[in-house]
Chain A
Amino acid sequence: MKKILIVEDEVLIAQSLRKLLEKRGHQVQTTESGHEAIGLIANGDFDRIVCDLMLQDISGFDVLEESRRRFTPEVMGQKFIIMTAYNSPQVLEKAREYNCEILNKPFENLQDAMTKIAGEG
């Protein structure tokens, strides 16, 4: 069982992901706001954080950047997955810089995506 945070402003995506992950036995929390996510990450002990790149308030990388200041950068990078439909070269380069994973939307394979999110791979 992993403790997972989903940061996604599309309610249908966030809730579907939550239920799918809960079915696999994980404990899941969701939030629509990047700022709220930073607070939750600071106070919660999450094993994995799935964060959309384009949130309403700030970008997914902003959430990661802010969280890295409070924790060991390497550990935070390993926990973080940026979810995006726009994996431009800049996004990939940034992900390399932060040493975090990228998950493309839409998922090519649901099971693989779930495994990646839970860090079981």
Chain B
Amino acid sequence: MSDRKREHLALPLASANVRFIGDTLLELAHASTSPSDTWEDRALIELSEMAQPIFFGSVIDTEARSYLGKLSATISLKSGLDGFFQLRRFKEFKLGVLLVHQKGESQAWQIGAGSSPDSFTHGLDLEKFNTFYNTVKKSKNGLFTTQQSKNQWLPFGGAFLAETFSFRRFNAVWVITREEFLACNSEEVSQFRYFSQLQGLWLERLIELEFSDLRLAEIMWVLDRCPLPVILQDAQGVAIFTNAAYPLQGHGTELTWIPLGKGHELGVGKTEDWDSTQIDVFHKHKISLLGDLFNTLRHELSNPLFGLGLACDLLLTSESPDDTLTMLKEIKKNVLRSQLIIHNLSKLYSEQDSALTCDVVQVLNEALTLAKSELKAVKKQQSPKNFTEPLMVEGRPLLVVQILFNLLVNSAQAMRSQSVTPEISIQVETLTDKIEITLSDNGPGLPPLIRENLFRPFHTTKAQGHGLGLALSRDLALKIGGDLTYLESAQGAAFRLTLKRVP
């Protein structure tokens, strides 16, 4: 029998078995006043033994075990759903949506989860829910796409995987997507079904909790958007809820702990970090917006540019007058430059590229390419002129490029109306444990009053500025273990970016 046929036969059987064990587990959970590891472990071993022959070798591995452990500990539906995306096998999936209908209610709900920055909970037309639920339930492989007209209302685009659940008081559909149009392969389909069924064992409890008090969901929603880091821990010190600001700010920030009873504690970040936290949230939104905008642009520009480049190549091989050839070479040069900008930006905004270190030489070149239009009439001096080897520093390339880009553009704008030729000098100095990049210009410099407030957020001397550039740049520099300082100089303005060298 082919694997595909076996899969189709095995899945309904498996789901019935898993459901049975699930119910047993739930009963056990309800019966036991303090669920200990023992019953859970026993039940899991039992589950794993029963599931093993059915899923032909997909044993409950360590990763699955730890996920189930987290699911059983959390009280937040959203955290439970988010945990799904921490699983290595689903790391390419970006977004999940859980559609829930409480039987007898006139409205259904959709709850967003995953790495999307905007998690949400909002109402959903019951008719839409029912049609969707039935389509998914009847589907053989659970593979869909938003190109199909009946799925177009879903809050994302592309191919997706979906699985239905029928609980005592709720019907639900769990949907995950990579937000791209390439269909999922059969391995992903079977992994998704397997994990959704495991997830289903705890989903009912979490949905019950969430819907038992919609105000709780509301509070979670508000907490999630709180610009201060917030973390809720249980008696064992295991985090059961963290808000969106926590991964950004929580580590390294001193938290104030508030006991909540039953050993639970709520940790809240210090308020004196308010300014920088605010910048962080602002920055995160800006980056995510830029990323979206850039992806659209890349999509729209790549093909026409490629076509123009090829047409130039073709015309360059034909016999033409000299001036036409010169023009064609110029067009080709511009096409290549545009393609290089797109290429560099895709590297910066690519989520796969989560490098924590970068090469100073490379990021400097990228920042200069990006700021090329602003620096048009500016004379640039760089020392040393050439680098023999990469200079690796700590920090994501995107952040370092952004700091350098901000400084270059600031300088260029300050020198715009001066009579002497504008000049920027870039000096890179390699020390034992750090690298210093000094950018100085021959512009008007900064009056003493402004120097004092230089790094304060929302302080600006530009008519159209928002006053975040320098504050944000320094904040980013501090975050990656470096610093950004203003240097006193006889003429013009000078900034020094210090970055930690990678040993």
B296 at the interface (CB under 8 A from A): no
Could you list 8 examples of A-B contacts with CB < 8 Å? A10-B306, A12-B311, A16-B313, A20-B317, A54-B181, A88-B182, A90-B92, A106-B339
Which residues of A lie under 8 Å from residue B314 when comparing CB positions?
16, 19-20, 23
In the complex the two chains form, is B182's CB within 8 Å of A13's CB?
no
Q: Which residues 173-200 of B have a CB within 8 angstroms of A?
A: 180-182, 185
A42 at the interface (CB under 8 A from B): no
Which residues of A lie under 8 Å from residue B313 when comparing CB positions?
16, 20, 110
Considering the complex, give the chain B residue whose CB is closest to the CB of A17.
B310
Q: Could you say which of B92, B185, B306, B317 has the most chain A C-beta atoms within 10 Å of its C-beta?
A: B306
Which residues of B lie under 8 Å from residue A70 when comparing CB positions?
none
Top 5 closest pairs, chain A to chain B, by CB? A12-B307, A16-B310, A13-B307, A16-B311, A106-B306
| Shortest Cβ gap from A23 to chain B (Å) | 6
Q: Which residues 73-101 of A have a CB within 8 angstroms of B?
A: 85, 88-91, 93-94
In the complex the two chains form, is A85's CB within 8 Å of B310's CB?
no
Q: How far is B308's CA from A16's CA once the two chains are assembled, in angstroms?
A: 9
Interface, chain B (partner A; CB < 8 A): 92, 180-182, 185, 302-311, 313-314, 317, 339
Which residues of B lie under 8 Å from residue A16 when comparing CB positions?
307, 310-311, 313-314
Q: How far is B308's CA from A12's CA once the two chains are assembled, in angstroms?
A: 7
Which residues of A lie under 8 Å from residue B180 when comparing CB positions?
88
Please tell me the number of chain A residues within 8 Å of chain B, measured between CB atoms: 22
Considering the complex, give the chain B residue whose CB is closest to the CB of A18.
B314
Which residues of B lie under 8 Å from residue A23 when comparing CB positions?
314, 317
Contact with B along A51-76 (1 / 0, CB 8 A): 00010000100000000000000000
Q: How far is B317's CA from A16's CA once the two chains are assembled, in angstroms?
A: 12
| Shortest Cβ gap from A118 to chain B (Å) | 16
Contact of B182 among A19, A91, A106 (CB under 8 A): A91
Q: Could you say which of B181, B313, B317 has the most chain A C-beta atoms within 10 Å of its C-beta?
A: B313
A-B contact number at CB 8 A: 53
Considering the complex, give the chain A residue whose CB is closest to the CB of B187.
A93
Q: How far is B312's CA from A19's CA once the two chains are assembled, in angstroms?
A: 12
Q: How far is B303's CA from A11's CA once the two chains are assembled, in angstroms?
A: 10
Considering the complex, give the chain B residue whose CB is closest to the CB of A52.
B303
Considering the complex, give the chain B residue whose CB is closest to the CB of A111.
B313
In the complex the two chains form, is B317's CB within 8 Å of A13's CB?
no
In the complex the two chains form, is A20's CB within 8 Å of B182's CB?
no
In the complex the two chains form, is A12's CB within 8 Å of B317's CB?
no
In the complex the two chains form, is A10's CB within 8 Å of B182's CB?
no
In the complex the two chains form, is A12's CB within 8 Å of B182's CB?
no
Q: How far is B311's CA from A16's CA once the two chains are assembled, in angstroms?
A: 5
Q: How far is B311's CA from A59's CA once the two chains are assembled, in angstroms?
A: 24
Contact of B310 among A20, A90, A91, A93 (CB under 8 A): A20
Given A10-B303, A12-B311, 8 more A-B residue pairs with CB atoms under 8 Å apart are: A13-B307, A13-B310, A16-B311, A17-B310, A20-B310, A23-B317, A89-B92, A93-B185
Which residues of B lie under 8 Å from residue A89 when comparing CB positions?
92
Q: How far is B304's CA from A12's CA once the two chains are assembled, in angstroms?
A: 8
In the complex the two chains form, is B310's CB within 8 Å of A12's CB?
yes
Contact with B along A1-25 (1 / 0, CB 8 A): 0000000001111001101100100
Q: How far is B185's CA from A91's CA once the two chains are assembled, in angstroms?
A: 11
Q: How far is B302's CA from A107's CA once the two chains are assembled, in angstroms?
A: 12
Which residues of B lie under 8 Å from residue A11 when comparing CB positions?
307
Considering the complex, give the chain B residue whose CB is closest to the CB of A12.
B307
| Shortest Cβ gap from B354 to chain A (Å) | 14
Q: How far is B92's CA from A89's CA once the two chains are assembled, in angstroms?
A: 10
Which residues of A lie under 8 Å from residue B308 when comparing CB positions?
12
| Shortest Cβ gap from A63 to chain B (Å) | 14
Q: How far is B310's CA from A16's CA once the two chains are assembled, in angstroms?
A: 6
Considering the complex, give the chain B residue whose CB is closest to the CB of A114.
B313
| Shortest Cβ gap from B314 to chain A (Å) | 5
Which residues of A lie under 8 Å from residue B306 when comparing CB positions?
10, 13, 85, 105-106
Which residues of A lie under 8 Å from residue B309 when comparing CB positions?
106
Considering the complex, give the chain A residue whose CB is closest to the CB of B335.
A106
Contact of A10 among B92, B185, B307, B339 (CB under 8 A): B307
